Structure formats: structure tokens, C-alpha cells
Amino acid sequence: MRSIAMDSNHQSNYKLSKTEKKFVRKQMKARHTLLRHEGIETVSSATQILVVANGGLGNGVSRNQLLPVLEKFGQVDALLMPPNKPYSFVRYKTVEESMKAYDALNGKEIVDDLGQKIILYFNFVEKAQWKELGLQALPPGLMVIEEIISSEDEKILLESVNWTEDTDNQNFQKSLKHRRVKHFGYEFQYENNNVNKDKPLPGGLPAIYDSILEKWLKEGFISYKPDQLTVNQYEPGHGIPAHIDTHSAFEDEIVSLSLGSEIVMDFKHPDGVTVPVMLPRRSLLVMTGESRYLWTHGITPRKFDTVQASKSHKSGIITSDVGDLTLNKRGIRTSFTFRKVRQTPCNCGYPWVCDSQMKEPPPSFPESDREASQLEQEYVHRVYEEIAGHFSSTRHTPWPYIVEFLKALPSGSLVADIGCGNGKYLGINKELYMIGCDRSQNLVDICRERQFQAFVCDALAVPIRSGSCDACISIAVIHHFATAERRVAALQELVRLLRPGGRALIYVWAMEQEYKKRKSKYLRENRIGQGKKEEIHDDASMQELLVEQMPDLRNQDSASSAPSISDSQKGGCNSRKVTNSELPIHINRTSFHSQDLLVPWHLKGTRNKDKPIEPFDPVGSHDPSPVFHRYYHVFREGELEAACRTLNNVSILQSYYDQGNWCVILQKV
């Protein structure tokens, strides 16, 4: 097979069979995919390093399966398996050995951990590149104690949970369809993520836990005896969404005992830093302080976890050392989560995320145009005035399809950028006459500092003569309007500005952050830490290789403490409004679970330490860094098109999805 794949002149001298043609086609596709999505460039000459397409942890191939296959053809210096990636790198001792593996294994089938057949495709590379990510510590206040109970006690505790008893029993939770749940002491109410402190369950905690809890108290693992217990049983493939246990409901200390099987739990800081932590079987997880109040914790729904291959590594952080990662099949895990119900308001040091210390609750879904306007004033306009400098520093790379639209316009066209922000697109095409407007004075000032023409106005009332623009763009603006009627009005204002035949390009944030089995950049940028790039060259020694690891939070039962909204909007511009519901606060870099929400912005830069803390005040400030909340309505597939179709004298020329956004090009007729 090697000569077929590597010799470009071969096909002219030899007629390929149907099977050989298919192989060449598949190998070329693998080569292009690696270059396009991962930046991995293959070479035609033989080297010591091979990239193995389809042979990765991300598509169910473990180190224990792949390594013996590779070792049949020579001494393997290193097998590098990045987490969640469908490929791996193998470095042989000599080039001759890597050539043997290339010839023998290219196009060969192996069976993955699920019993499915996978065909491997090999290509030579001179180097493998990845990010070295710096965070190597558990979140502050987090502790994992291994072998906290004996295997005999584990068996007794598991057998003590009667899952077959009468479902009318008050301790039996009937609301969760993907896992079995029981509550003792107090029932955890998933509809509002709290407990009813006035209605304790009869019997309290079963006596079987008394001796264990007393032992933990005596040994200093816990500070006080819990009075609430939730028992969850998870089948392989199930998970829980990222969440913070409600501050006002429970005391500082939350502990969870893992029985039956180990699990990897993801902890995430509001800044986006993610730390995967291994919880071994029979271990106790203790969350206090920052890890309890500020970091979210959750379990990605999957049947295999990426874990350290080293047998000496049991608990703690799953480092992204790709030379020491493999897959671990999940078993049935039962968690026993102990809490103490709080009887007084929480006074933790994180008031900006604390429901006890918030000056006022998050805003509710607007029921009138006046309420919508007030919501936008507080949670859009005032926020952008505060964050303008930091926001501008993060908005510097133009999006390719928008650049393509602007560069395709005729020279001399008059173009309006409605909601221009820092003017990122105003200077793209020097052959156009471009003018920008934005609701934020501070962002318009940044445009003027960059010598762009821009002014302050509302996107619902742009002071430009009707029919005077050859084109308009509205990039990431219309999703900030709080009702369907106001979003349609913003679209109508764009159309008003266009001359007959003029075109408008509109981008809005998409509800679907995973589309056609590919995650958006927004989800992919969920990161473990900021770090430098590290390379392995063909003649370099092997070193620790670290890559990104991203949780997938789809299809999970809700156990989040964030305020919730009934997600009854099913798309289309006439979606039914939700009444008397607080807007949820989104967890950055995760999938959306509601269309109308508040998205946090963590301000970087100089802080005003004399300013009082005002949680949920968009212009508030706190230490260590202010958090502001911007209102968004994320659009479902087809919703933007449906809104455009309500407009008069408009035809939709194109509709597409671009990196987590729904996009429309329309023309005034």
C-alpha cells in the first residue's frame, strides 16, 4: 500500500483496483482533515513519526489496544494519544521500523473497545505539535481521600439502598429519567435546585451511616455532621451538568462518596479553566471554599473516561500528558452526596455568584416592550459601556465569511455597519465607503481613535436616509433584543436603509453550538489553562505533551443551581413568551439550555477597589474581577429566516451556519 499512497506517479503507470482507489481516497481525506482541523501537516518522505488517523482516544481506541499492534513492527519510543482526538502519534526507534508499520498497517482493521471495526490510516509527519497547558493543581478547597471505606463496607452500603421499594415512598425520587435517585433528611427539589427546610423527610439519615460519619468527623475529613443525603446511581454513559450547589441551601462543606466504579469529574472556573479530576472507587470528594462556591462541577455523559495509563496514578488531576493517557470503561457508579442544610443566609466571599448576597434576583423574562427596553438598557447597553476596552481587546480577528461578503461588494459602495463595536470590519475593504454606528459611546470612541467614521445611535432608529445604502451588515447585534417584535423591528430598520437591490448580512448567536457533529469554536475553546506551544521534532527527545480536553454537556439531567427558565420557546419569530421566570445565568463555554439568558463577562484590567460590591448590578464591581451579565436571545435553526420572511420587499439569498452563528444574506426587492 505504501507505494500507492506515497508515489504520485504510480497511478499513471499502474491501474488501481477499486479497493486501492478507495484506500487512496480515504487516506487523502484523513490527510486533509488533519491539516484543516488540527494543523497537522503530513510529509511524503518516511520519518520516525507516524500519525494514526482513526486510532485515537476520541473514537474509542485505547492504548492497550493500539500499542501491541504497533509493537509488532519495531520498538515504539512513544505513543502519544491526545484526549478526545480521533488520532494518535507513534514514534519508532528507527525510520525503517516506522516504514514497516506504514506498509503493514495502513488500511487495516482493528476492533475498538465497543467491539466496532475501525480502519487505520497512517501518514508520516516530521513533528507533532500541541499546547502545553499550565494548570497542575486541584481547585482551592478540593480534596480527594482514597480508600475512605473498605470493600466490605462498600458492599454493605450498596446493598442497603433498596431501589425496588414502593415508588410512593417519600425518599424515592421519581422525576429523573436517566438515573435512579433517593433523598434522605430533606428532598432536593430539582425544579428550583433547593430544599424545603420546613418539610424534612421522615426518618432522617439512615442509622447505617452514623458510624461512618462519626469516623470522618473524628479523623477531620468533615467538620460537621450532615443532615441531608442524595443517593444517585449512574449507568455508563450518564452524567450530570456542570453546576454549583445552591449557596443558600447548604453549608460550606459538601462531600461525595463514590462506590461501585471510578469516575472523572470536571471542575470549571468562571474564567473557563477546566480541571478533570479522577474520583477512584471508594474515595471521598470534599468540596469547601472556592471549589464549592465558585467552581462548577459536572460529569460528561460518556461510556469511557480518558485517564492516566500509569497504575500508580489513582486520584487527582488527569494531566494531559499524551504519553500516559488511555481509555477506562465506566461501570455502574453509586454516589452518596452528604450536605448540611443551611439555616442562616450564606455570607461566603463570592457575593457575585451567591444567591443570599445578591442585591436583587436576576431579571425576569420581559412581558412588554417597556420591560424589554429596560432589560436591554441594564443588561446590554450599560454593560458594553463598562467593558468596552476589554471587549475591544478580544475582538481583533475578522470572520472570513464576513470579509468575503465585504470584499465582493462593488467598489464605491456605501455600507453601514449597524452595531459596529470597535470597528473591526470598517477597514476591511478600502474600496468601500463604510460608516459604523453603535449604542456604546465608549466603543464608538475606539472606532474614532482608529480613524473610522462612526456615531452613537440605537439600532432601532438609525439616523441614515432610507434607501441610501448599497449594503448593511449586522454582526452579533440582533440577539441582544429581548422580544421577537423588537428583533423583527431591528431587521426592518436594516431593510429600510437599503436601496432596491441592496444586500444585508446578518449574524446571530446560535442555540446549536454543535452542528453536524462538530463543536463550535465557542465550545472548543473550553480550556484547561493558558499555556505555550510545545513541539516534538523528528530528532528531538520525547517530552510531556499536553492538549486540550473539552466536556460535552449534552443530554444531561439538570442538577444545576443556576436560576432556571422554562425553555418553552421552540423557535420561530412568534415563539411563546415565558412569564414569571428568572433568566438563567449561562455557564461560559458550555452548550445552551435556554434561548433567553444572561452570559457572564469577566472583566480584566484595572479594578476600582473603592467601589462597593453590587451583585447583579451590571455596573457593579468586585474583587478579584468584576463579572457583568449580558442579555442574549440565542436563535434556533430556522428562526432567523422565519423572522426575515415577515419583512416586506425582501428575499433571502442565502442562509448558513458559521462557527456557532446563524447567518442570513437578504436582498431588498
pLDDT tens, position by position, 591-623 = 898 899 999 998 876 444 334 333 333 333 334
Q: Find where cell 452579533 sits.
A: 476
Q: Is the pLDDT of residue 418 over 50?
A: yes
φ, ψ for residue 158 (rounded to 5)?
A: -65, -40
Burial of 514 (0-12, 13-18, 19+ CB in 10 A): middle
Q: What is the pLDDT of residue 128?
A: 66
Q: What is the pLDDT of residue 176?
A: 53
Proportion of the chain above pLDDT 90, given as a percent? 41
| Pairing mode of beta strands 433-438, 414-418 | parallel
Q: Using 50, 70 and 90 to split pLDDT, how confident is the model at 397?
A: confident
Q: What is the pLDDT of residue 132?
A: 41
| Rounded-to-integer distance, Cα 209 and Cα 216, Å | 11
The C-alpha cell at 193 is 435546585
For residue 484, the one-letter residue type is A
Element (H, E) at 385: helix 382-393
C-alpha torsion sign, points 16, 22, 23, 27: positive
Contacts of 214 (CB under 8 A, 6+ apart): 225
When mean pLDDT is compared over 66-70, 316-320, 477-481, 519-523, the highest value belongs to 477-481
**276 neighbors 318 (Cβ within 8 angstroms):** yes
Q: What is the pLDDT of residue 292?
A: 93
The C-alpha cell at 332 is 455502574
Q: What is the mean pLDDT of residues 30-48?
A: 78
φ, ψ for residue 49 (rounded to 5)?
A: -105, 130
- DSSP string over 113-128: TTS-EEE-EEEEESEE
Q: What is the mean pLDDT of residues 13-37?
A: 74
Buried-state track 620-633, b at ≥16 Cβ within 10 A, e below 16: bbbeeebbbbbbbb
Q: What is the mean pLDDT of residues 483-506?
A: 97
Bridge partners of residue 207, in order along the sequence: none
- Condensed to tens digits (0 to 9), the pLDDT of residues 244-303 reads 888 999 999 999 999 999 888 989 887 667 888 889 899 999 999 999 998 989 888 888
Q: What is the mean pLDDT of residues 537-555?
A: 27
Q: Is the pLDDT of residue 223 over 50?
A: yes
- DSSP string over 336-352: EEEE-B-SS----S-GG
Q: What is the pLDDT of residue 213?
A: 93
Report angle CA 439, 445, 446 to the nearest 5 degrees.
105
Q: Could you tell me how far CA 247 lies from the centroid of its own chain? A: 23
Q: What is the mean pLDDT of residues 491-517?
A: 95
Give the pTM: 0.56
**49 neighbors 41 (Cβ within 8 angstroms):** no
Q: Using 50, 70 and 90 to split pLDDT, how confident is the model at 205?
A: very high
Q: Is the pLDDT of residue 155 over 60?
A: yes
**518 neighbors 294 (Cβ within 8 angstroms):** no
For residue 621, the one-letter residue type is S
Q: What is the pLDDT of residue 320?
A: 55
C-alpha torsion sign, points 441, 447, 450, 454: negative
Contacts of 552 (CB under 8 A, 6+ apart): 300, 301, 302, 514, 519, 591
Q: Using 50, 70 and 90 to split pLDDT, how confident is the model at 403?
A: very high
Q: What is the mean pLDDT of residues 627-642?
A: 94
Q: Could you tell me how far CA 309 lies from the centroid of its own chain? A: 26
- Condensed to tens digits (0 to 9), the pLDDT of residues 328-351 reads 788 899 999 999 999 999 999 888
- Condensed to tens digits (0 to 9), the pLDDT of residues 86-111 reads 888 888 889 999 999 998 998 888 87
Q: How many residues does this entry show for the chain?
A: 669
Report angle CA 102, 103, 104 to the nearest 5 degrees.
95
For residue 354, the one-letter residue type is C
| Rounded-to-integer distance, Cα 35 and Cα 30, Å | 9
| Rounded-to-integer distance, Cα 383 and Cα 625, Å | 14
When mean pLDDT is compared over 60-69, 215-224, 539-548, the highest value belongs to 215-224
When mean pLDDT is compared over 64-68, 170-174, 228-232, 299-303, the highest value belongs to 228-232
Q: What is the pLDDT of residue 172?
A: 53
Q: What is the pLDDT of residue 12?
A: 45
Q: What is the pLDDT of residue 112?
A: 66
Q: Tell me the angle at which helices 63-71 and 95-105 cross, rounded to the nearest 10 degrees.
A: 110
Q: Is the pLDDT of residue 554 over 70?
A: no
- Condensed to tens digits (0 to 9), the pLDDT of residues 350-395 reads 887 888 887 667 788 898 999 999 999 999 999 999 999 999 988 8
| Long-range contacts at 101-108 (CB < 8 A, ≥ 24 apart) | 101/50, 101/70, 101/73, 101/74, 102/2, 102/46, 102/50, 103/1, 103/2, 104/72, 104/73, 105/69, 105/70, 105/73, 106/1, 106/2, 106/5, 106/23, 106/27, 107/1, 107/23, 107/26, 107/27
60 vs 484: which has the higher pLDDT:
484
- Condensed to tens digits (0 to 9), the pLDDT of residues 432-450 reads 999 999 999 999 999 999 9
Mean pLDDT of the chain: 80
- Condensed to tens digits (0 to 9), the pLDDT of residues 71-90 reads 999 988 878 877 777 888 88
For residue 543, the one-letter residue type is Q
Q: What is the mean pLDDT of residues 485-503?
A: 97
Cβ atoms < 10 Å from Cβ of 157: 21
